Amino acid sequence: MYDDIVLFVHIVQQQGLASAAQKLGLPAATVTRRLQRLEASVMRQLIHRSARQFSLTADGEVFYQAYAGLVEQLEQTQQQLSGEMNVLAGPLTVLAPSNISTGLLQPMWSGFIKAYPDIKLELILSNSVESMLSSGADLALRIGPQESSMLYQKRLGSLKTVLVATPEYLASNAEPRNIDALELHRLIGTNTLATWSMVNSKTKIKQEIRPRFATQVNDIKLATQLVCDHLGISLLPTSEVENLINAGTLIQILPSWQGPRRDLYTVWPSGKLLSARAKCLKEYMEEFIQQSNVNISDC
């Protein structure tokens, strides 16, 4: 039964019977038969049968959560004893947000690939938060703390958020001289910053604003582009706008006021031993953020 449980965990992590069979080098019929044998032994259906979409039943989700960490720990302990976990070569799967990875942190990825050419980095970028436990990834880079108790996480630093607009927009609309004057302007919002909790860096006065957005989008890069198209004022992370401010494309308005900081975390499963490859990237990211000139406040 143990071998069938291990197979079930791999099926979930690969999001399908066929992909699990391919990864494990097993015939598809064998994978199906062994899954059916496991379901018969526990007297529960664990996976919904569908050719188009993979999904767990409620019992399957409970079963996976109960055994995934144990299976991964046993497999990685075996790998560590065989020496595979200590080699700085081979595959390394990492989840990360698209915007910051293709912008502010792009030099970090290039630097790591150049420094460790034998590590095959599979970098999966998405602005949606994919579950680490089901993805099978080694590490993830996340903005904001993760709620799951099944994850370890370490804070790398935080990104400031600032108010910006273009000179062209401000030429047609009087630049706000105080925080209350923002309500007279067209404001562009993002779903990650629906409420603007502002702090004055000089006076330490705090003020929470619930903006009436003229436009609201669920993508920070698009919000940045809308601001660059002279369509209004937005509160955006420095990772998106610092270069644009330096180039004069955008102007930081009310510079003494800053929005909420967006904390950056390295995340990995609590039941998983980090390989030498994963440890190497984790330390590389920490060192890059601490030593670089990017606008990230360290811990």
User: What is the structure's pLDDT at 119?
Assistant: 93
Q: How many CB atoms are located within 10 Å of the residue 147 CB?
A: 6
- The answer for residues whose C-beta is within 8 angstroms of residue 196's C-beta and 6 or more apart is 208, 209, 210, 211, 235, 259, 260
Split the chain (299 residues) into runs of 10 and give each run's mean pLDDT: 82 83 85 88 85 82 83 70 67 88 87 93 79 75 77 85 96 93 94 88 91 91 95 92 92 94 85 81 89 54
User: What is the structure's pLDDT at 121?
Assistant: 93
For residues 194 and 216, give the distance between their C-alpha atoms in angstroms, rounded to a whole number.
Answer: 9
SS3 content of the chain, % helix, strand, coil (to 5): 45, 25, 30
User: What is the structure's pLDDT at 226?
Assistant: 97
Identify which of 65, 59, 50 has the alpha carbon closest to the alpha carbon of residue 16: 50
Structural domains of the chain, with CATH: 2-82 (1.10.10.10), 87-157+262-298 (3.40.190.10), 161-258 (3.40.190.290)
With H, G, I as helix, E, B as strand and everything else as coil, classify residue 145.
coil
For residues 229 and 166, give the distance between their C-alpha atoms in angstroms, rounded to a whole number.
Answer: 8
The single residue listed with the structure tokens 């197979």 is 7
What is the 3 state secondary structure string of 203-222?
CCCEEEECCCCCEEECCHHH
Question: Sign (positive/negative) of CA torsion 109, 111, 116, 118?
Answer: positive
